Amino acid sequence: MIDLKLLLILNQINPFSSRHETSDNHDQEDFKLPNLASLVIMILMNLLLQVSFFIVISSSNKYAEYLGGNATFSGVAIGIPTAFAGLSLIPLTKYDRGMYRMPLHVSCCFAILGHVAYALAFRTNFLYLILIGRCLLGVAFSMFMYGKRYCTDPRIVGIRRRTTLASWMVISQGMGMSLGPFLGGVMYDIGFSNSIFNGYTSPGWIMAGILAGFWVLVAKYFEDIPQPPTILELQSASDPNAPITSLEVKGGDKEASPDYPSASATRPASPVDESFRAQLSLITLSQWGVIACMCWFSMLCFFILGSWEANLPVFGAADENLRWSPFAAGNFIALGGITAARRTQDRKILAFGTILGLSGLIIFFFILRTGKVNYGSLFTCWWSVALGFNLATTVTLSLLSKQLPPEWNGCTSMAIQYSNYTGRVTGAIWGGSGVSVGMMNFVGLEIVMVAIGAVFFTTLWRNLKTKTG
């Protein structure tokens, strides 16, 4: 059995223990930051994946039509990666050991494969290769969850730095949302004289090349979080002469000697499991309400953003006052998504972003009703929606990380990311079908969803207060 001395060492080294700290130590913990090069890589990875997601939006409808598809197929192709991202998180989180290097390599690999497959659909004249490429990209998009988890990981990020780092993630998200459609529109404008590299396929080839170069930088410069000491290492540190065969860190031989029973045989449950269950029982009803509220807003924001991104090229091409080409649609989406958020109290960011986004939806509803849709009025609505709901996404995870125990960071990251994925995939499909179901119905549903979120928000306003930063 593990002796008392070893347990004391474990308690001292465990980063989640409740040991007493001085005020200075608390301040250092509150403001700590990860390795700069690794942080930059995580933010750049988020940017490149956002560009990868959005670069096809401005031309995917035309690409699908060329290969025999329709607007709804285009919406599915835009949104389907998030479904595969959610599925891929199941094996990834099982084997990542709480680290980040392995998911980064997996993401780079599948992003390159996905872009190549998407580009080859034109040459092979195979519509469903577009879908296959986007599904492969979905595995790469699992990195979105790891980026959020990295920025709120209590092992490397202090509580007063989490909203700041989350803001940088949202800034890269906004840049990707702007740069992607713009580049896609520019690439479409290069023409179709070449069956390999043309307006439909060039986004795939270019992004595959960029990500291949970035993968080299990841391999060379990314530093993962140091693994905590194992039981054997701690025992050796406390007593160099201790027989290390008395402990089996990873289960060991099922037929261990009776004199040296395995660790799993000497204790019915790990202290971490018992601590987690104890903390779970202490979560109050209001805290469960905050968790549900943040998951709803995560889904809501990405549902609306995804639906507008998928709908604008289709609506812009169908409306008689606009008649957009993919190039014009890409520029328009880019203009609306160009702004990003600054730092303030989390619940105020959420309130301001929601109100701003809702105002864009309401204005658009009345514009549709009067039939006075033009470039200026539509841009005003899209700008409000893009800025408002991008702003709101800044705080969903950082707010939960400040209210719940550090051990919950992995679970809350997963909950928020699955909410994001749900909103992305359903929003893209809804956006692709917006013209066929009726644009009044399209925006009306989104207003109702925001109203439900407002009920959550106002009811839990006091419970949403956290530390700034």
What is the tens place of the pLDDT at every residue in 54-95? 888 778 888 888 888 887 787 788 778 878 888 898 899 888
Condensed to tens digits (0 to 9), the pLDDT of residues 381-428 reads 888 888 788 777 777 766 776 766 666 767 777 787 788 878 877 887
Percent of the chain past pLDDT 90, that is, above it, reads 19
Give Cβ neighbours of residue 230 (< 8 Å, ≥ 6 apart). 249
Q: How high is the pLDDT of residue 23?
A: 52
Q: How far apart are the first and last CA of the chain?
A: 43
Torsion of CA 448, 452, 458, 462, to 10 degrees: -150
- Residue 163 vs residues 153, 175, 348, 393, 406: alpha-carbon distances, Å: 12, 18, 12, 11, 15
Q: pLDDT tens, 125-159?
A: 999 999 999 999 999 998 988 988 888 788 888 87
DSSP at 284: -
Query: Which single residue is written with the structure tokens 């928000």?
Result: 457
Give 16's contacts (C-beta < 8 A, 6+ positions apart). 154, 405, 406, 407
Q: What is the pLDDT of residue 258?
A: 40
The confidence score (pLDDT) of residue 148 equals 81
How many residues does the structure list for the chain?
A: 469
Q: Which stretches of the chain drop beneath a pLDDT of 50? A: 1-21, 230-235, 237, 242-269, 272, 334, 336-343, 469
The pLDDT of residue 173 is: 77
Q: Tokens 């080859």 identify what position?
A: 120
Cα 42 from Cα 147, distance rounded (Å): 6
Is CATH 1.20.140.10 correct for 36-226+280-464? no
Q: Report pLDDT for 83.
A: 82
What was the pLDDT predicted at 250?
Answer: 39
Enumerate the domain spans of the chain.
36-226+280-464
Q: How far apart are CA 411 and CA 311, in angstroms?
A: 33
pLDDT value of residue 169? 79
- Give the Cα separation of 58 and 314 in Å (integer): 9
For residues 137 and 79, give the distance between their C-alpha atoms in angstroms, rounded to a whole number.
11
